[in-house]
Structure 1
Amino acid sequence: MADLSLKFLIDADHGQFYVQDLDPYEVWLEDHGFDPQPAGGWTDDALTVHRIGLEPHSISVGTARDDLVEAQIIVHTSAPALDSAAVHIVEADLDAPTGHLAVSSPGVDPADGPSIVVPAGLLRARVSYVPSEPPVRDTNGGPGDHFLYRIDLWQVGQAREIVVIKQGPSSWAQ
């Protein structure tokens, strides 16, 4: 089976975008009063070390820019090789019981964002920050480095902890 891929541009409003199995995520939110703390899973470690926030059925990807950013989701049959060009790489689990992933941000409604159908169940997500050129439609020319936010997904049988495989520089919005 060939790898499934979705490449897209998204407005990373407030320096983030979300990859979520939306229906179970919304049920979880409802059970938590629609105001879980910390919001988006942005713990101190998420902000300074991981650069991704985790909630059930959701990954918040922190970006170096509050702008239009380029991202790619690739679904594999097994763990892919690491991208040697990436300056930051982190892995975490994403529980996707329906297999319908929606991409959104504070400024992009999930109904308007890209989506992809993936194998339902527990997925390992590797988020790699790969230096890139500005997207074709750079919106505001503001501060921050340009990256391709690459999210590799593959099914796993057992949950594992979040792990930083390669730590990027501490100040990355230059």
Structure 2
Amino acid sequence: MLTLVNDTSDQQFLSPPKRRSDSQPRRSDYNRRRFLAWLRDEITILRALGMDHRRIAAQLDIEEHDVRVFSPKPKEKILCRNLPRRAIDALLHGRHASLGGRTVAKRSRHLVKIASAYTWEELMAEPGVGTVTASEIRLWLEERGAALRPSPDGAANWYRSTPTPDIS
């Protein structure tokens, strides 16, 4: 004799899929625009540190052509470099600030004189100055026909062995 048996499929035991709220964006999504902005920033920093296209391409594992495309153009900020605020503060209040005068206004007019009184080691010892800021100060001085004072011990600085950035 046949008896009626209820069909118990697997769908009864599974809960319905939860909908993700639209207010919470997915953090793992690939964002091409954000990645390209990051790549442009990295290349700009490495160029400011004096690296050439080939070395940057090797370090970032990209094509040399891509480095050229994302490098700052001569019409951009690289030729008319302004010092960032942290570099200006370090120079205006650092150990050689008194060479520019007693007031901040006088010191700001003599920033080249103040900055060229530093050695690389002294500049790196200033609070708030790291490798990138020190390199920006060095490049800023070179654009104005000045340079950092050589070290008294005659040791070759690491930046002297790296070529000056080619703007072409």
User: Which has the larger Rg?
Assistant: 2
Which protein, 1 or 2, shows the higher relative CO under an 8 Å CA cutoff with sep ≥ 6?
A: 1
Q: TM-score, with normalisation over the residues of structure 1?
A: 0.23
More helix by share: 2
More strand by share: 1
Q: TM-score, with normalisation over the residues of structure 2?
A: 0.24
